Amino acid sequence: MTDKVIASRIIKTEPINWRNLQFIQQDNFKEWIANGDKKLIESLLKYQFADPFKVWEHEGILYCLDGKHRFMDLSAVAQMGYQIPELLPATFIDCENMKEAAELVLVYSSAYAKITQQGLLEFVQTFDLDFPDMQNLLNIPEFDSIAFEGMLNEFQTGEPSEKIVPASLKDSFIFPPFSVLDTRSGVWQDRKRKWLALGFNSQETREDVELIAKSGQSTAIYELRNKMRESLKREPTWDEIIDYAKQKGMHVYEGASIFDPVLCELLYKWFCTNGGSVLDPFAGGSVRGVVAGVLGYPYEGIDLREDQVEANRKQASILSLENVNWITGDSNEVLDRLSMAADFLMSCPPYADLEKYSDDPKDLSNMDYKDFKEVYFSIIKKSVAHLKEDRFAAFVVGDVRDKKGFYYNFVSDTIQAFKEAGMELYNEIILVNVVGSLAIRVRRQFNGGRKVGKMHQNVLVFYKGDPKKIKGNYPELNLGEDLEALASSE
């Protein structure tokens, strides 16, 4: 009969000097998950010390069996200026030896079961707990907090939340036409989020350009965001969306940037005729084509990589865009047989040999700069030949360094290429990018060679024809109210 008795191994509970505690486990025995240390500190501050340490006393030494993280965060809280009692309660556990004590440390550090969502829902409802206020203090592995909050909302309202419909991207949008465009501004980022809600699914890498925005994700991530909106009855933050997507095992883009859709929109509206056709000889990803299609500009893009072209076409198909097309091939050859007469020439060419896009010998990124320039100049000349008279061209470029660290002077070479093709530089715009990973990289590159962190690109706008005809060919944009509001805020 005695074999079936559950005996108490608790000797006593009494105050101890918690700062004298010793630990059996090594420092890296456990690690914090999902800001667990911050949550424990917040719990201590809100609920005070409410859970006694579990200890084993051996040869006058108090070994902590359960409570090491509480010990660590009590020390952190004390350093923050909070007064901690010298004596705190501890429950003394009977252990036969150090091995048994170590076994208990392992037991206390593990979890036999996890709270179910339904169980927690019933618990919260029974005791009328404020779950949104409490959830930041909880650290339950694999707990689906988004789905749970949706269940809670449905229980409270009896019906799912109303879908949030994004604003139309065809609405008029005007940004002050100054020589510096700051993508870091709130207005710019708000507009960019609306564009990215379409789910651009292609990346274009550039040196010193922002890491991809958290909002620059695939269509699947935006579908997930819509489901989260319905469950939460609020707009989830991108941190919540990204974390939740990772929990679900979904692919999240955390690498290079995509071409900025707001810049694309501005250049189309500023420098393309109403409904005019767009030619892009270095098409790359889908952004410029997608934005053109949404705004009603027929678009023809050329790219050497078949897989990229197929991805772009799929993107346009998903969005049901018409008059948007990509051609696979070498622009230097495709332009010879293209019959298009474009109203706007718009592109973002490879930045010399900065990044290798493919193994194709015709790919400009595989060439040394001398050969690159020769082909680059040829493509620009042929592209300009397809541009109608009295029309604009815009190239987004940025200078890059050679192997010794000196700039190629790529921006000036681009200007020279257009000049030789019959177009003059008409506007130069500096595009200021968000800092992104530059803040991490600049220390090494500056201390290693005094290279400053470049966080801008050059938007070069060229004109072909008689500038006196610009006013008659391009619509008057209603800038008045925007500029007056800007001036009044100065």
**Where exactly are the structural domains of the chain?**
2-109, 111-160+217-252, 261-485
CB 211 within 8 A of CB 254: yes
Q: Looking at residue 270, what is its pLDDT?
A: 93
Q: Look at residues 249, 281, 287 and name the one whose alpha carbon lies nearest to residue 268.
A: 287
pLDDT (average), residues 216-233: 71
Predicted confidence band at 331 (pLDDT cuts at 50, 70, 90)? Answer: very high
Percentage above 90 pLDDT, the chain: 35
More confident residue, 444 or 294: 294
Q: If residue 14 lies in a helix (H) or strand (E), which one and from where to where?
A: strand 10-17
Q: Looking at residue 209, what is its pLDDT?
A: 33
Does pLDDT of 310 surpass 70? yes
Does pLDDT of 404 surpass 80? yes
Residue-wise pLDDT for 348-394, tens only, equals: 988 755 444 445 555 555 677 888 889 999 999 999 999 999 999 99
Residue-wise pLDDT for 169-195, tens only, equals: 444 556 788 899 988 887 788 788 778
Does pLDDT of 340 surpass 70? yes
User: Is residue 157 classed as helix, strand or coil in its secondary structure?
Assistant: helix
pTM metric for this prediction: 0.56
pLDDT (average), residues 341-345: 97
Residue-wise pLDDT for 43-85, tens only, equals: 788 889 888 999 999 999 999 998 888 898 898 888 888 999 9
Q: Looking at residue 153, what is its pLDDT?
A: 66
Same CATH fold, 261-485 and 2-109? no
CA 233 to CA 246: how far, in whole Å? 21
Q: Looking at residue 446, what is its pLDDT?
A: 84
- Range 2-109 has CATH code 3.90.1530.10: yes
pLDDT (average), residues 468-483: 75
Residue-wise pLDDT for 432-466, tens only, equals: 987 655 665 677 778 888 888 888 899 999 999 99
Alpha helices in 386-437 (DSSP H): 410-421
More confident residue, 486 or 414: 414
CB 345 within 8 A of CB 423: no
Mean pLDDT of the chain: 78
Burial of 284 per CB tally in 10 Å (0-12, 13-18, 19+):
buried
CA 63 to CA 59: how far, in whole Å? 10
Sheet holding 278-280, edge to edge: 180-182, 424-432, 456-464, 387-397, 342-347, 278-280, 299-303, 324-328
For 261-485, CATH number?
Answer: 3.40.50.150
Mean pLDDT is lowest, of 34-38, 79-83, 90-94, for 34-38
pLDDT (average), residues 137-146: 55
pLDDT (average), residues 465-485: 75
